[in-house]
Amino acid sequence: MSKEKKLVEAITSRDEDFSQWYTDIVKKADLIDYSSVRGCTILRPHGYAIWELIQKNLDKRFKDTGHENVYMPMFIPESLLQKEKDHVEGFAPEVAWVTHGGEEKLTERLCVRPTSETLFCEHYANIIHSYRDLPKLYNQWCSVVRWEKTTRPFLRTLEFLWQEGHTAHATEEEAMEETIRMLNVYAEFCENVLAIPVIKGQKTEKEKFAGAKATYTIESLMHDGKALQTGTSHNFGDGFAKAFDIRYTDKNNQLQYVHQTSWGVSTRLIGALIMVHSDDNGLVLPPEVAPVQVMVIPVQQHREGVLERAEEIRSRLSKHIRVGLDDSDRMPGWKFSEHEMRGVPLRLELGPKDIEKNQCVIVRRDTREKQFISLDDVEQSIIKILEAMQKDMLRNAMELRVSKTYTAQSIEEIDEICNKNPGFIKAMWCGEQSCENKIKEETGATARCIPFEQENISDRCVCCGEPAKHMVIWGRAY
């Protein structure tokens, strides 16, 4: 059906069917389209523009912390992937294999990168020789492929866009500092740009990255009470360095192994934006990552002077923010719905009566609150409203998380929470993988992280009753 003929269709209610609501949003907010390749989606202009804003914000933070961008090949020879034992075990089952180039069968299969540790390690072994070559602080923006069985737009797709930072350091301490520094960069970015509060913590042995010494994570809570691993930062110690023989000569002329890290976030962040902020009218975007922050919509635009005035205001605003003007010949109500669906933070309505009164109407996407503002200082007023909206969205997301955070003293309690009011569940753990496994089997909840901010909920493991080592955040997760 052609777009201008179709009315803005209602989407499934979020509370009725969260999963269908999510699927409706990704399609009807024009974020993605499906392709004929199973599990691969097309990022449409609106979806890609959000990713560009995420990239721009993160890339600046990476460069401000001394990182440089590079580009590695997308193919990894099978023998290279196999160099680090745990790593290949973790990834080999889910990679795509290239076996033929043109007409010719390859002598060695190549996998399409699921992640690029092995390529960075090979390169580092080539270019790192002396302590003066350290640290190496590299990042790359690219797409990776993981052969997932079930997929869902943004959350789990065969191919996805991401960034992967890979660094090499002279000492264990520096590697650890870097691991935490980048976790903090991610957390700050999520809160201040995406308006998504996160919990920082360490992954358990069971949940850590294949080949890592320790994995750190930021975990966020979606509107349906399920957790999302939003970004990870890994400390590799010298494990990869030993497998790939990455050594440097230190100041005392001794050969030493480097210590490495890697860290990444992906288009999954767009999934988080949807599941944290959006509602039954469609996408809700925090102003910082909204491709259009204000859409000017003329009312009675056929009346003399209305379009001219609307364009004048658009032009004034464009010097400060990302602004659009919808002067198409559709009805204003239709336009309101469409730009709501697409998550435009503010709508600015302007009709003949407004012009007479030297004012315009502003409607916030998150609260749908309506206010009249003077055209004299419309720029300053709008900048203030956008700033307030950005803060309010973070506060609301935080309140949501607080309201859905529970404590549990038994497996039964965890199970009950998961089934009735899912959310983050704080419970004590002895540190044994057998208990972790049992909790997962019986409740479906996994250890999201051992948060840096520990609380003493009880002295005993929620599963076995033995002395507790950590408070863990449990939850069912995407």
* Site of interaction with a second copy (CB under 8 A): 1-5, 33, 35-37, 40-45, 48-49, 51-52, 68-77, 80, 93-104, 110, 112, 119, 122-123, 126-127, 129-130, 132-133, 138, 142-143, 145, 147, 158-159, 161, 249
Shortest distance, position 270 Cβ to a second copy, whole Å = 12
Q: How far apart are CA 460 and CA 466, in angstroms?
A: 5
The two tokens of residue 96 are: 């795509």
Q: Which of 333, 330, 296 is nearest to 311 (CA)?
A: 296
**Residue 349 phi, psi (nearest 5):** -95, 140
In the numeric block, the tokens 């007479």 are attached to 356
Q: What single-letter DSSP state applies at residue 36? A: S
13, two tokens: 């209610």
Q: How far is the CB of 151 from a second copy (least distance, A)?
A: 12
Per this entry, what is the length of the chain?
478
What's the Cα-to-Cα distance from 360 to each of 11, 228, 344, 353, 409, rounded to whole Å?
29, 40, 17, 9, 55
User: At 429, which helix (H) or strand (E)?
Assistant: strand 424-429
**Least distance CB 347 / a second copy (angstroms):** 21
Distances (CA, A) of 297 to 202, 286, 294, 461: 47, 20, 9, 58
- To the nearest whole angstrom, how small is the minimum distance from the Cβ of residue 329 to a second copy? 9
Min CB(79)–a second copy separation in Å = 8
Residue 41: count of CB within 10 angstroms of its CB? 22
The least distance separating a second copy from the CB of residue 157, rounded to whole angstroms, comes to: 9
Residues paired with residue 460 on neighbouring β-strands, in sequence order: 467
* Distance (Å, whole) CA 472 – CA 436: 10
When computed from its CA atoms, the radius of gyration of the chain, rounded to whole angstroms, is: 25
Identify residue 408 by its one-letter amino acid code.
A
Q: Which is nearer to a second copy, 71 or 453 (CB)?
A: 71
Nearer to a second copy, 80 or 193 (CB): 80
Least separation in angstroms between CB 35 and a second copy = 5
Nearer of residues 156 and 438 to a second copy, judged by Cβ: 156
- The tokens for 54 are 């995420």
Alpha helices per DSSP H over 426-471: 433-443
Instruction: Determine the distance from the C-alpha atom of residue 280 to the mean position of all C-alpha atoms in its chain, rounded to a whole number.
Output: 22
CB closer to a second copy out of 34 and 372: 34
Q: Which is nearer to a second copy, 149 or 420 (CB)?
A: 149
Cβ 48 to a second copy, closest distance in Å? 5
The least CB distance from residue 242 to a second copy, in Å, is 19
AA letter at 148: E
Give the CA dihedral 205, 208, 214, 216, nearest 10 degrees: -120
Query: Closer to a second copy at the Cβ: 146 or 200?
Result: 146
User: To the nearest whole angstrom, how small is the minimum distance from the Cβ of residue 443 to a second copy?
Assistant: 28
Closest CA relative to residue 65, chosen from 315, 356, 263, 271: 263
Q: In this structure, are strands 68-69 and 136-145 parallel, antiparallel, or unpaired?
A: parallel
Q: Which is nearer to a second copy, 114 or 237 (CB)?
A: 114
Pairing mode, strands 446-451 and 470-475: antiparallel
Residue pair 106/99 in contact by the 8 Å Cβ criterion: yes
Nearer to a second copy, 4 or 455 (CB): 4
User: How near is the Cβ of 77 to a second copy at its closest, in Å?
Assistant: 6
Q: Which lies closer to a second copy via its Cβ, residue 40 or residue 477?
A: 40
Does residue 191 sit in helix, strand or coil?
A: helix
Pick 51 or 216: Cβ nearer a second copy: 51
**In terms of CB distance, is 100 or 420 closer to a second copy?**
100
425, two tokens: 């569940």
